[in-house]
Amino acid sequence: MHRVYLDNNATTPLLPEVFEAMRPYFGESFGNASSIHHHGQETRAAVENARESVAKLLGCAAAEVIFTSGGTEGDNLAIAGLVNSGDHVITSSIEHHAVLHAAKHLEEMGCQVTVLPVDGRCLIDPRDVRRALRPKTKLVSIMMANNETGVVQPVEEIGKIAAEAGVLFHTDAVQAAGKVPIDVKKIGCHALTISGHKLHGPQGTGVLYLKKGTELRPLFYGGRHERSRRAGTENVPGIVGLGKAAELATAALVRGDDKKMASMRDRLQRGILAQVEEAGVNGDAAARVPNTTNIRFDHVEGESLVIALDLRGLAVSTGAACSSGAIEPSHVLIAMGLRAEQARASIRFSLGKQTREEDINFGLSVVLETVRRLRELSPRYKKQAVST
């Protein structure tokens, strides 16, 4: 069966060059990077090389790169590691659960948390950040790009507000890395999270950038790995893969591959809007990362659409989460002001480095046909169509 994968915000396929770079570290180059003999020196050099590549992608010094097990760990490390009981933290309603649930845990530990709203464009107003500041505010954590809509937040403005107030700023850049340029100095952040598997690197790898001089309480206690900021023997093959993925992402941004991706994404979106009635884009009134579009197909159940598309070979997703047996609409779309049924009718399409023009053609034809068929079967849609 012909299959097309348009769910790259969930995870991206490992690029062949990344796999090749990792291969020796599963075999002959197996040393513990902390060992002082030849085997250890070989893997230590590979880890430090990867650290340089990530530092280039983020515009920071290599010593400011902490390797982690992924985006979830990076977010937790920043949030739990930068605040103390009694501190106040500002975050937003559209963060990934890795941030929102970590913030909830902080509340249970005696912190105060303010969760800022977004507008209908999925944008946080930096003035709301300023208004939320309190004498005890220690940290602002606002994501760089949203995973469901792709909307890019005004992180530089937020960074300035945090700097003026003398508070720390963390940004979850998991969905921004490799898609838009990142420069931690321009953003003015103290901490920034990325995840390997969202930029064609391996799953279970990630980085927390931590600005030099920023004090951090580690999540794990153990050896002095990663300058005592993240104990545990380094995942050398994973780190090497993430380094290679970062190197390829930097080169792709320099080449301008993001513009090609945006043009394919826009063609998919235009094609759908031109041919499907009662469809709309969530979040297209703001700047977005080039690979994502979130489309609402009124009178269609998103979960049913995802399954029907999968049966025809197209992989996409909804932002809905299954909680206690019920399908909860996406918290991001609800925060933007969508009604529950509109949020449930929304689908995320996300392109990757391996997406081709013919994949867009395939996606378009399958979506048009499947939405038409599902609506024909929907009593709600028929009733509505007759009454209008």
Residues identified as active-site: 322
* Smallest separation (angstroms) from ligand PLP to the CB of 75: 6
Range in contact with ligand PLP (rule: CB under 6 A) among 171-179, 285-293, 357-365, 380-388:
171-179
Q: Where are the alpha helices (DSSP H) in 152-206?
A: 155-165, 184-187
The binder of ligand PLP chosen from 91, 147, 153, 171 (CB under 6 A): 147
- Give the residue among 388, 139, 150 at the shortest CA–CA distance from 262: 150
Tell me the C-alpha distance between 104 and 111, whole Å.
Answer: 9
Closest residue to ligand PLP: CB criterion: 71
What backbone phi and psi angles, to 5 degrees, belong to 210?
A: -130, 120
Beginning with the edge strand found earlier in the chain, give each strand of the sheet holding 65-68 in spatial order: 65-68, 206-210, 191-195, 168-172, 137-141, 88-92, 112-116
Alpha carbon distances (Å) from 300 to 89, 273, 280, 324, 332: 38, 15, 13, 23, 19
* Cα 360 off chain centre by: 22
Asked if 174 touches ligand PLP (CB under 6 A), the answer is yes
Residues 31-70 that bind ligand PLP (CB under 6 A): 70
Report DSSP letters for 124-146, one per residue. --HHHHHHH--TTEEEEE--SB-
Dihedral of the CA atoms 217, 220, 224, 229 (nearest 10)?
Answer: -40
Contact assessment for residue 140 and residue 151, using Cβ atoms and an 8 Å cutoff: no
Number of residues that bind ligand PLP (CB under 6 A): 14
- Closest to ligand PLP by CB, 197 vs 265, is 197
Q: Which of 98, 152, 336, 351 binds ligand PLP (CB under 6 A)?
A: 98
Q: Among residues 68 and 342, whose Cβ is nearest to ligand PLP?
A: 68
- Selected range binding ligand PLP among 16-24, 172-180, 279-287, 348-356, rule: CB under 6 A: 172-180
H helices of 256-330, where? Answer: 257-275, 302-311
143 belongs to the binding site for ligand PLP (CB under 6 A): yes
Binding to ligand PLP by CB under 6 A, coded x per residue (else -) over 186-225, reads ---------x-x--------x-------------------
The least distance separating ligand PLP from the CB of residue 306, rounded to whole angstroms, comes to 16
State yes or no: residue 72 binds ligand PLP (CB under 6 A). yes
Is residue 71 a contact point for ligand PLP (CB under 6 A)? Answer: yes
Q: Rule CB under 6 A: choose which of 7, 87, 172, 247 binds ligand PLP.
A: 172
**Does 250 participate in binding ligand PLP (rule CB under 6 A)?**
no
Tokens of 274: 């031109």
8 binds ligand PLP (CB under 6 A): no
Our finding on whether 96 is near ligand PLP (CB under 6 A) is yes
Interface with ligand PLP by CB under 6 A: which residues?
Answer: 70-72, 75, 96, 98, 143, 147, 172, 174-175, 195, 197, 206
